[in-house]
């Protein structure tokens, strides 16, 4: 009985609440009166309070059950056309663009929208423009497999999305944007890449021709001489390495099962070059137990990289490895590489609609010469203007170096002497091994260099220079003369006021170096 009384009190209270609600909603009665009146409902049968009540809603025919007459207070969350997040981050649905991620050498990445048929050369040009690189030559895109230690420079004509489609979904494979000065170096210096000892003497075209003439004629025609020589190969399912004599021909890669015999009955077919890609192996001693640091690998083109599909080969020198990898590229692509080389000499055209990035204020400036007695004159010759600019910059650096080297100069007013830190060839405190790795990745061409801080000698620097496929290191020592500070590499015979003057001098004069400084080893942050 007490329960029933409580229910009656609750029902009585609900009637009072409904009356109050009618009073409060009286202001909106005019809006509700605009709706069509609902048909009278028949007397509902008595229902039990312990069961749920089904609420019927009046809907017109053909209207979705999820639609509502209540307006959406957040339309940008449901409509892609009104969403600033969706419109700003993704291209239109009708565009033929795909997103790829490219890493720089500082491990930072950038996402780039590319078309389905975009080539490596086009993607590199986009990255050069977006990263504001000072030059547009010798840039490359690397295909890197960190777990397997494989690296490959993509050819300029390769379609980037087709290469990416061969990767495994959960792999750590990536694209790396960097410099590569040696991409077409074998067209410029063929004898440095193809030593006479590795050229097969079975070619009939060699009769009456020297080795250099043979190589030059073959490269111009888009092919390569047959290569032969010993390589260390890792035997399958074993940790041991075996020395095998290999032959690289247009028809494929062969090995001899009896020493260096070239007889057909002793040759064994290894692989077809059209279905293979050649990779440089990084840290091959640690990953694969290679007998040398000059290791490379060949793997199927269309399959995701797997350890069981790799054929690991090890050479006895960098020149031998470079010869084999260059011959692989030439035999596989032929005339296409010759076309890429000719196209690399032509600067890429700006896309349609691209504006000149030079500011109007900068374009209105002119070069002036105030050395005469009659006042200033406008320098009309562009070569003379550039020469005057260089002389003015060198004179400024000499003045600043002189001020910084004075012994009684106040430390608070002393200008910064670390002008070299803003140069692209300065790499700070990198190790000797990492330096060789950077130079090797960017091509191992004569004259490529960088300057780093010495890890063994305090306040000293090291000039690392590539010459004949090897990296040489020269110690730069600070010294004082008449209270002024200088830098030298030849025990004080030649003095430089700063590292920038040292580099500019050796770009024109060899000095004690075997070759002039030509290509700075740079790392671009994307």
Same domain flag for 177 and 192: no
Q: What are phi and psi of 227, to 5 degrees?
A: -110, 145
Same domain flag for 210 and 113: no
Same domain flag for 226 and 293: yes
CB count within 10 Å of CB 185 equals 20
Quick one: what percent of the chain has pLDDT higher than 70? Answer: 67
Residue 251: pLDDT over 60: yes
Same domain flag for 174 and 309: no
Same domain flag for 173 and 199: no
Flag whether 402 is in a domain: no
Count how many domains the chain has.
Answer: 3
Same domain flag for 119 and 264: no
Flag whether 410 is in a domain: no
- With a CB cutoff of 8 Å and minimum separation 6, the contacts of 493 are none
| pLDDT band, very low/low/confident/very high, at 394 (cuts 50, 70, 90) | low
Same domain flag for 325 and 261: yes
| Residue of 373, 370, 280, 368 whose CA lies nearest to 324 | 280
| pLDDT band, very low/low/confident/very high, at 246 (cuts 50, 70, 90) | very high
Task: Tell me which of 294, 322, 346 is where a domain ends.
Answer: 346
CATH of the domain at 150: 3.10.20.90
Q: pLDDT tens-digit profile of 58-93? A: 444 444 444 444 555 544 444 444 444 443 345 555
pLDDT at 211: 65
**CB contact at 8 A, 305 and 294:** no
Rounded Cα–Cα distance for residues 152 and 146 (Å): 12
And the tokens for 289? 């137990």
Residue 147: pLDDT over 80: yes
Same domain flag for 191 and 338: yes
Q: pLDDT tens-digit profile of 418-444? A: 788 888 899 999 999 999 988 988 888
Query: What is the span of the domain harbouring residue 477?
Result: 419-520
The whole-number average pLDDT for the span 433-462 is 91
Flag whether 67 is in a domain: no
Same domain flag for 93 and 237: no
CATH of the domain at 220: 2.30.29.30
Secondary structure letter of residue 39 according to DSSP: P
pLDDT at 20: 46
Report CA-CA distances (Å) from 246 to 313, 317, 334. Answer: 10, 16, 21
Question: Quick check: helix, strand or coil at residue 335?
Answer: helix
- With a CB cutoff of 8 Å and minimum separation 6, the contacts of 372 are none
Task: Tell me which of 315, 346, 377 is where a domain ends.
Answer: 346
pLDDT at 344: 87
The whole-number average pLDDT for the span 131-154 is 88
- With a CB cutoff of 8 Å and minimum separation 6, the contacts of 117 are 159, 161
The whole-number average pLDDT for the span 107-130 is 91
And the tokens for 380? 């009309």
Provide the mean pLDDT of the chain: 76
Question: Quick check: helix, strand or coil at residue 69?
Answer: coil
Secondary structure letter of residue 496 according to DSSP: B
CATH of the domain at 429: 3.30.505.10
Radius of gyration of the chain (CA): 37
Rounded Cα–Cα distance for residues 526 and 139 (Å): 13
Q: pLDDT tens-digit profile of 2-52? A: 444 544 444 444 444 444 444 333 444 444 344 455 555 555 555 555 555
Same domain flag for 156 and 195: no
Report CA-CA distances (Å) from 87 to 80, 90, 113, 180, 238. Answer: 7, 6, 14, 37, 55
């Amino acid at each position: 009985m007490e329960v029933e009384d409580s229910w009656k009190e609750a029902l009585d209270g609900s009637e009072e609440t409904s009356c109050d609600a009618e009073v409060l909603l009286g202001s909106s009665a005019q809006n509700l009166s605009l709706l069509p009146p609902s048909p009278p409902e028949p007397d509902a049968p008595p229902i039990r309070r312990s069961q749920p009540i089904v609420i019927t809603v009046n809907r017109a025919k053909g209207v979705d059950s999820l639609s509502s007459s209540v307006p959406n207070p957040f339309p940008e969350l449901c409509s892609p056309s009104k969403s600033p997040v969706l419109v700003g981050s993704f291209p239109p649905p009708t565009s033929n663009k795909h997103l790829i991620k490219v890493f720089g050498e500082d491990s930072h990445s950038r996402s780039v929208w590319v078309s389905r048929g975009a080539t490596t050369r086009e993607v590199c040009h986009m990255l050069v423009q977006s990263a504001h690189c000072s030059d547009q030559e010798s840039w490359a895109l690397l295909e890197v497999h960190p777990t397997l230690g494989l690296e490959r420079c993509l050819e300029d004509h390769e379609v980037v999305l087709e290469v990416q489609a061969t990767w495994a979904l959960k792999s750590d494979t990536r694209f790396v944007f960097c410099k590569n000065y040696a991409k077409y170096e074998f067209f410029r210096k063929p004898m440095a890449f193809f030593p006479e000892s590795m050229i097969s003497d079975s070619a009939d075209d060699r009769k009456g021709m020297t080795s250099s003439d043979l190589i030059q004629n073959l490269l111009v025609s888009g092919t390569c001489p047959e290569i032969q020589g010993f390589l260390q190969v890792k035997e399958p399912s074993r940790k041991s390495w075996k020395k095998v004599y290999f032959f690289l021909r247009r028809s494929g890669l062969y090995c001899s099962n009896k020493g260096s015999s070239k007889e057909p009955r002793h040759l064994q077919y290894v692989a077809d070059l059209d279905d293979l890609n050649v990779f440089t192996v990084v840290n091959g001693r640690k990953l694969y137990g290679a007998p040398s640091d000059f290791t490379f690998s060949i793997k199927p083109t269309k399959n995701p990289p797997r350890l069981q599909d790799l054929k690991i080969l090890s050479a006895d020198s960098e020149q031998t490895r470079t010869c084999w990898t260059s011959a692989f590229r030439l035999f596989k692509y032929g005339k296409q590489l010759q076309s890429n080389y000719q196209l690399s000499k032509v600067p890429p055209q700006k896309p349609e609609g691209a504006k000149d990035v030079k500011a109007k204020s900068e374009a209105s400036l002119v070069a002036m010469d105030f050395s005469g007695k009659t006042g200033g004159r406008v320098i009309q010759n562009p070569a003379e203007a550039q020469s005057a600019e260089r002389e003015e910059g060198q004179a400024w650096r000499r003045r600043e170096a002189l001020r910084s080297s004075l012994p009684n100069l106040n430390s608070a007013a002393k200008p910064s002497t670390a002008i070299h830190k803003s140069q692209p060839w300065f790499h700070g405190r990198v190790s000797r091994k990492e330096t060789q790795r950077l130079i090797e990745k960017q091509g191992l061409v004569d004259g490529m260099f960088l300057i780093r801080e010495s890890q063994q000698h305090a306040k000293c620097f090291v000039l690392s220079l590539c010459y004949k496929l090897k990296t040489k290191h020269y110690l730069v020592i600070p010294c004082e003369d008449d209270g002024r500070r200088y830098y030298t590499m030849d025990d004080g015979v030649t003095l430089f006021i700063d590292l920038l003057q040292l580099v500019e001098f050796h770009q024109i004069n060899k000095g004690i170096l075997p070759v002039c400084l030509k290509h700075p080893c740079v790392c671009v942050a994307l």
